[in-house]
Structure 1
Amino acid sequence: MNKKLSRNVWWMLLTLLVGCSDDKKGEMVLPESNLTINPETELVFQQAGASMPLSISTNRNWTVMKGEGSWYRVEGDESGEPGESSVNVVATENGGIEKRESKIAIQAGTEKKELNVIQFGSEPDLVLTEKEINVEYQGGIREFVVNSNTGVELSAVDDWLRLPEKTYVMDNTVSNVFTVYCMPNDNEKRTGKLIVKAGSKEDYISFVQEGWKAEIILEREEVVVGGMKKLCEVMLTASGDWTIEYEGGNRPGWITDAPQGGKKGAFVLSFELDQNLEAIQRTCQVLIRCGSLTKPLTIVQLPVLKRERDSLVLQAIYRAANSHGNDTWNFDSAISKWNGVKLQDNRVVGLHLHEWTFYNIPVELGELDGLTEMTFSYCLFNDPKLPDEVGNWSKLDNFSCIGTQSVIFPETVKEWSSLGTLFMSGDYFQGMTLEGAVLPDALCGISTLHTVSFYHSDLKELPEALAQSNVEILVVETGQLTQIPDFLGKMTKLFSLLIRNCPVGTPVPVKVFDAPVLRSCNLSHDGLTGTIPEEVYSSSSLYELNLAANNLTGDLSEALVDSGIQMFDVVQNRLGGIGKKLSERIKLDPRFIDTRAWNGSAQICKQQENYGWSNCEN
């Protein structure tokens, strides 16, 4: 469209708007001018000169007006129509010592913006984009831009401004972005100064930080929990000291324990609750105060689900299955007669599903929030992931999965606050391997978990989260572990460790014996190589050690006699050598002469044929 046609269309539109306006008597209201330019404040050139773009975005016709100075020019249209536009600003080489400056003005409708145009000379110099930066009272990291033609040096006048370094070397660009950390402000409004130097030139940036103000942030303003729930939690962030009060004055009796207050920061508010055995829901409003600010939190506890509700949930699970093995539930009979269902105090507390098949494991399982025992026995799944709703199993103590297909645990299992035993197993006698076996971090983080067992599975690795767990008994029998990780030695409550019949094939993992209360350790049939390190015998708590059926070599150290080990098995290794004698101290130690203490398996003189001490009496 040419300019003449464009003006005609605009005039017709203007005439139409004027003609349709009876109330305004011919007046037409245009939208407010809107102008945005990039960059917003200045264009800074190095001494050699260059070309830089200037972007213009506006809803009006615009005009660019160049300021004084023949050392730069504007390339492109000097005016344009509404929309997105761009021109180039070109600076020639500056042969002088000092920097030179000019301005460019952009006019769009009633709005006008000016842009500084600066070019460095040969003398070291700098230009600051911002001379004053506002900071909230919480502080934090702030960025600022320094334009310079040389290296710059930064120094903070006030100690609440922290710089990562004092001196910075500029790269080849005209500007660099730097950072400063502002400390939190617990008092009144304050101003700090940051000195910026480039050669003999010096300038500064002011940082203005607001004073402390009361602030409360709640993750949720209302928390609804089930009647069986004994814990209600919500995240609180406060800017200062905070206290808790209750509407009406007193804490209700069904909230048995609750926080009273604390310092500034982020916290998890934990309210301990009694079970709601009443027929109606219970409600309490908690008032959280910080300074003059008050924030209400409403806690709602629903009634306990009754036995009839559990019955409906079980029926939904039964109908969701593709097959049920030999289990047949008669919905007209009492739940206590249904195979695999265990009741206590009118609740379903145990569920054993044997040879059931599911396309997807039904979400209704999560509604059985009274479960303490859950077993999948030889079940098959198209999608083996447990639904997120199983996070409601806060009373679950024992979880088992047996067969050829392992379930997949969702992240919500971290809510299993009572889990004690995890049992995952294939079938040794039928040669079945439990496939898809994984020990997730979420389970390791459960403080009550004390026993973890994987038998005849394809478990390939152990998670490092075990190092921070409370697990006391750890079993991996016939798995696919290729290493025994050192972090097991950090398990402060590990009492018994069995990693047996796995393709490890590494030297004896010395760090494992750093576990402070480790009493029994069985690493047999793992293909371990090398000698038995003396550090193994120095374990203060070790009572039983089984390293049988590996590829160990060398002689037994007399440190064994001085250790606390009472049961010791290294049969079927390549210890010692043909014609060598076992140490007299070891041979005569009564712990190793009378092997009946460990069913005769601690016969250290009986090694593989043609290896070791063939006759301990020689």
Structure 2
Amino acid sequence: MNKNFTYTIIAFLAVALQTVVGQISSKEKAVLIDLYNATNGSQWTTQWNLDKPVSTWKGVKVEDNKVVGLNLFRNNLEGTLPQTIYKLKSLQDLNLAFNKISGEIPETITKLKELRNVHLEMNLLTGEIPSKIGDLANLESIVLFNNLMKGEIPKSVGKLKKLKVFNVSSNKLSGIIPDELGSLSKLESLGLFENNLVGFIPKELGNLVELRELVIANNQLMGDIPQEFGQLVNLQVLQLQNNKFNSFKSLDFMQSKEILVFDFDGKKPSLKFRDLNTAKTGVAETEFEEDKEN
């Protein structure tokens, strides 16, 4: 066989292989272009070259010719999320945190059955948490803190049996803490800080035995701390300040050896490490850390 012909064939196959790797359907590519246009892609910190293969686009993860990950953390996205996002049927990870995305989270997002992680924190999102969020059976984390979202926490969240992280702090959410959250047996972190939540803490939260962080400070919660909190043996961080609780007496039932507690006596907060077995306390400091790009 002619050597030149052989080299031509090899070169052709190499180009063909490069084209196939990372190739996605025209439907999925159209969704990505929708997102690019809807969030002012020409002004992104790192832009997509729409004339090049999708595999070269920042933050797009492709497996088996399908988009499984989209990570545009801190990339100056400004605009709204397209309704067509639900067409990324294989999407598992969505990280658009620390941008300027406004408008509502499309209800269509609840059709992404493979979705595992959603990070939309530090944006300008309004509207409500999608009522059918519980349809995302594979969801492990949903982080929406520091937005402008309102409405109540959907009861359907209680259907997310794989959920480990639920953080909707620093929004404008109202209503009560749903009892249904107590069925999230794998939950490790629950952040409801700085909203307009009212009513009593559900005793069902005492069922969250894997919980390590419970942050419900800066709301309008009232009544007593449930005695069922004594079951939270893995809890390390508990923030309760700036609510309307009658007392913190039930904290004495807690079995954790060392726990970070934010108390509030109506005058000033105190942040302490409390050894609940020996009643020793020591002052501790905390600081806010920005989410990092995954």
In structure 2, the partner of 1:356 is: 78
Cα separation, partners in 2 of 1:483 and 1:411, compared to 1, 3 Å: closer
Is 1:313 the equivalent of 2:31?
Answer: yes
The SS at the match of 1:351 is strand
- For residues 176-204 of structure 1, the C-alpha deviation after alignment (integer angstroms, 9 at most, x for no partner) is xxxxxxxxxxxxxxxxxxxxxxxxxxxxx
Cα separation, partners in 2 of 1:511 and 1:408, compared to 1, 3 Å: same
Is 1:592 the equivalent of 2:280?
Answer: yes
Judge conservation of contact 1:494–1:515 (CA < 8 Å) in 2: no
User: Quick one: distance in 2 between partners of 1:351 and 1:495?
Assistant: 28
Is 1:537 the equivalent of 2:252?
Answer: yes
- For residues 87-135 of structure 1, the C-alpha deviation after alignment (integer angstroms, 9 at most, x for no partner) is xxxxxxxxxxxxxxxxxxxxxxxxxxxxxxxxxxxxxxxxxxxxxxxxx
User: Quick one: distance in 1 between partners of 2:68 and 2:182?
Assistant: 31
Spell out the pairing of 1:357-376 with structure 2 (5 A cutoff): 357-358=79-80, 361-376=81-96
How many Å apart are 1:552 and its aligned residue?
Answer: 7.3
Spell out the pairing of 1:332-343 with structure 2 (5 A cutoff): 332-343=51-62
| 5+ residue gaps, structure 1 | 1-305, 427-432, 554-565, 571-585, 603-618
Between the aligned residues of both structures, percent identity stands at: 16
Spell out the pairing of 1:499-510 with structure 2 (5 A cutoff): 499-504=215-220, 506-510=222-226
In structure 1, the partner of 2:181 is: 466
Judge conservation of contact 1:405–1:436 (CA < 8 Å) in 2: no
User: Quick one: distance in 2 between partners of 1:503 and 1:569?
Assistant: 26
Spell out the pairing of 1:376-525 with structure 2 (5 A cutoff): 376-377=96-97, 378-382=99-103, 384-388=104-108, 390-402=109-121, 403-406=123-126, 408-426=128-146, 434-436=148-150, 438-460=152-174, 461-470=176-185, 471-504=187-220, 506-515=222-231, 517-525=233-241
- Which structure is higher in RCO with an 8 Å CA cutoff and minimum separation 6? 2
RMSD over equivalenced CA pairs, Å: 3.5
Spell out the pairing of 1:144-163 with structure 2 (5 A cutoff): none
One-letter amino acid of the counterpart of residue 447, structure 1: K
User: Quick one: distance in 2 between partners of 1:355 and 1:514?
Assistant: 44
User: Quick one: distance in 2 between partners of 1:501 and 1:484?
Assistant: 13
How many Å apart are 1:352 and its aligned residue?
Answer: 3.7
In structure 1, the partner of 2:6 is: none
User: Quick one: distance in 1 between partners of 2:67 and 2:190?
Assistant: 29
One-letter amino acid of the counterpart of residue 422, structure 1: I
Judge conservation of contact 1:343–1:349 (CA < 8 Å) in 2: yes
Judge conservation of contact 2:88–2:112 (CA < 8 Å) in 1: yes
How many Å apart are 1:363 and its aligned residue?
Answer: 3.1
Larger proportion of strand: 1
The SS at the match of 1:369 is coil
Judge conservation of contact 1:527–1:551 (CA < 8 Å) in 2: no
Relative to the length of structure 1, the TM-score reads: 0.36
In structure 1, the partner of 2:291 is: none
- For residues 235-266 of structure 1, the C-alpha deviation after alignment (integer angstroms, 9 at most, x for no partner) is xxxxxxxxxxxxxxxxxxxxxxxxxxxxxxxx
Cα separation, partners in 2 of 1:537 and 1:448, compared to 1, 3 Å: same
- For residues 191-223 of structure 1, the C-alpha deviation after alignment (integer angstroms, 9 at most, x for no partner) is xxxxxxxxxxxxxxxxxxxxxxxxxxxxxxxxx
Aligned length, in residue pairs: 250
How many Å apart are 1:483 and its aligned residue?
Answer: 4.2
How many Å apart are 1:368 and its aligned residue?
Answer: 0.7
Judge conservation of contact 1:350–1:374 (CA < 8 Å) in 2: yes
How many Å apart are 1:509 and its aligned residue?
Answer: 1.1
Judge conservation of contact 1:486–1:509 (CA < 8 Å) in 2: no
Relative to the length of structure 2, the TM-score reads: 0.69
Judge conservation of contact 2:171–2:194 (CA < 8 Å) in 1: yes
The SS at the match of 2:62 is strand
How many Å apart are 1:381 and its aligned residue?
Answer: 4.1
How many Å apart are 1:537 and its aligned residue?
Answer: 2.3
Judge conservation of contact 2:235–2:256 (CA < 8 Å) in 1: yes
User: Quick one: distance in 2 between partners of 1:322 and 1:463?
Assistant: 33
In structure 1, the partner of 2:47 is: 328
User: Quick one: distance in 2 between partners of 1:407 and 1:369?
Assistant: 24
User: Quick one: distance in 2 between partners of 1:436 and 1:567?
Assistant: 33
The SS at the match of 1:394 is coil
How many Å apart are 1:438 and its aligned residue?
Answer: 4.5
Spell out the pairing of 1:115-154 with structure 2 (5 A cutoff): none
Cα separation, partners in 2 of 1:438 and 1:348, compared to 1, 3 Å: farther
| 5+ residue gaps, structure 2 | 1-22, 286-294
How many Å apart are 1:365 and its aligned residue?
Answer: 0.8
How many Å apart are 1:481 and its aligned residue?
Answer: 2.8
Judge conservation of contact 1:474–1:498 (CA < 8 Å) in 2: yes
One-letter amino acid of the counterpart of residue 351, structure 1: L
The SS at the match of 2:118 is strand
One-letter amino acid of the counterpart of residue 197, structure 2: L
How many Å apart are 1:522 and its aligned residue?
Answer: 1.2
How many Å apart are 1:401 and its aligned residue?
Answer: 1.8
Cα separation, partners in 2 of 1:487 and 1:404, compared to 1, 3 Å: farther
Cα separation, partners in 2 of 1:435 and 1:392, compared to 1, 3 Å: closer
One-letter amino acid of the counterpart of residue 568, structure 1: R
The SS at the match of 2:144 is strand
Judge conservation of contact 1:451–1:472 (CA < 8 Å) in 2: yes
